[in-house]
Structure 1
């Protein structure tokens, strides 16, 4: 077996739901840690106080610009990781923290929250609030195959990770209007309702089989666009679907 990769999780301003999702992989997490990855940094899960060198860093939560320590830790994580991942809606798009006015008892001045790409370069997004455990597992497996696998495995990993990288390149702003312009207006919407189900402020309702966006209520967190199965997923994944699923199942056996 090839050398394991190192993975860390940096927690910034968020609800810790993404960290819970990481732990919710249960037996899958033990398999990952046994064979493919060493978890070298994570809030409550690893007794390490300073950001170490790592192959992949999952950054959870948005960055508070009023918190000097958070900004410094984020920049340090960028410098010490080969791949930096915006892990969850707050890290990728700011989510509801962009509209937060702080209110912490110990530091009530914290009120300027931004997606982490406003501070450092981000390699890929794992969107949603929170991401599903399977997606976290899949990205970890594909990162291992990309960094340690053979030529065929690297090809599959590249196909899987490329859309997530393209999502990061697209930027940190998205809203319900993107669904209208890039999905519905293009005749791609299949009326599945995923966008309505994932909206954290319930700004989307399904009307006659299609999403209806309340623009006044929309907080432009990007959750709906990132979760829409017809928005950003590309044909590299679709054409290699069986190989990708086979690689993931083979790795987890």
Structure 2
């Protein structure tokens, strides 16, 4: 077993749902913290006040650009982390925080929020509102193997992470229109319902087995696009599915 990597959780403007998803891994999380990663930073779970050097930073929430501390914190995270992961739709695409207009009793001037990709370079997206515990767990294991595994493990980890890395390169906006253009109109939709289940504002309904989007309700949070199994189809993952599944299962034993 190689050295453990340093893992951090950076919480910006969000509802903490992504952190709940991390905790929902239960014994899987304990396995990761026992064997693969040291949690070196987390406002909720670790008594550390300043962002340290770390291998992987899981960033939850968007950045309030009126909050100088938050802006500096995300820049510091980019400097201190080898891999920056946008955890959840707020961090990846802005989600509902894009529609914030200030007026909160304690900080009424906080009115503008951006996904972290508008301020720094992001390596990996884990989309969802919140992301599934399994996806977070798998990305943590694969990040470890990418940094500390043998050559075969690094190759498989790279193939697993590539679609999520491609999402990060794609940009900070996504909506049902993208699903319509890239999946539904291309006859790739299989009517699984994942997009409707992922939509936080219920803007997607089903008619005749196909999703229908309400444009007036869509907040362009990207959750449906990130959740759709056909939206960032990658042949590298499909061809190595069994080996990747065995690698994850073996790491969690």
Aligned to 1:206: 206
| Residues 43 and 49, structure 2, Cα contact 8 Å, conserved in 1 | no
TM-score computed with the length of structure 2 as normaliser? 0.99
Aligned to 2:169: 169
Aligned to 2:49: 49
Aligned to 1:248: 248
Q: Distance in 2 between matches of 1:244 and 1:233?
A: 16
Correspondence 1:229-244 to 2 at 5 A: 229-244=229-244
Q: Distance in 1 between matches of 2:103 and 2:31?
A: 40
Which blocks of at least 5 consecutive residues in structure 1 are unaligned? none
Task: Give the SS at the match of 2:56.
Answer: strand
Aligned to 1:117: 117
Aligned to 2:20: 20
Aligned to 1:142: 142
Aligned to 1:87: 87
Q: Distance in 2 between matches of 1:224 and 1:36?
A: 31
Q: Distance in 1 between matches of 2:157 and 2:103?
A: 42
| Residues 198 and 224, structure 2, Cα contact 8 Å, conserved in 1 | yes
**Count of residue pairs the alignment pairs up:** 253
Aligned to 1:101: 101
Q: What is the CA deviation profile of residues 135-163 of structure 1, one whole-angstrom value per residue up to 9, with x for unaligned ones?
A: 11100100010000001000100000000
Once the two structures are TM-superposed, the CA of residue 21 in structure 1 deviates from its matched residue by 1.1
Q: Distance in 2 between matches of 1:100 and 1:139?
A: 30
Correspondence 1:35-74 to 2 at 5 A: 35-74=35-74
- Cα RMSD, aligned residues only: 0.7
Q: What is the CA deviation profile of residues 92-138 of structure 1, one whole-angstrom value per residue up to 9, with x for unaligned ones?
A: 00000000123332211101001100111100100001111111110
Q: Distance in 2 between matches of 1:16 and 1:226?
A: 19
TM-score computed with the length of structure 1 as normaliser? 0.99
Q: Distance in 1 between matches of 2:223 and 2:38?
A: 30
Q: Distance in 2 between matches of 1:104 and 1:49?
A: 25
Q: Distance in 2 between matches of 1:71 and 1:116?
A: 9
> Which shifted more, 51-60 or 191-200?
191-200
Q: Distance in 2 between matches of 1:196 and 1:28?
A: 28
| Residues 40 and 46, structure 2, Cα contact 8 Å, conserved in 1 | yes
Q: Distance in 2 between matches of 1:221 and 1:15?
A: 15
Task: Give the SS at the match of 2:83.
Answer: strand
Aligned to 1:133: 133
Task: Give the SS at the match of 2:125.
Answer: strand
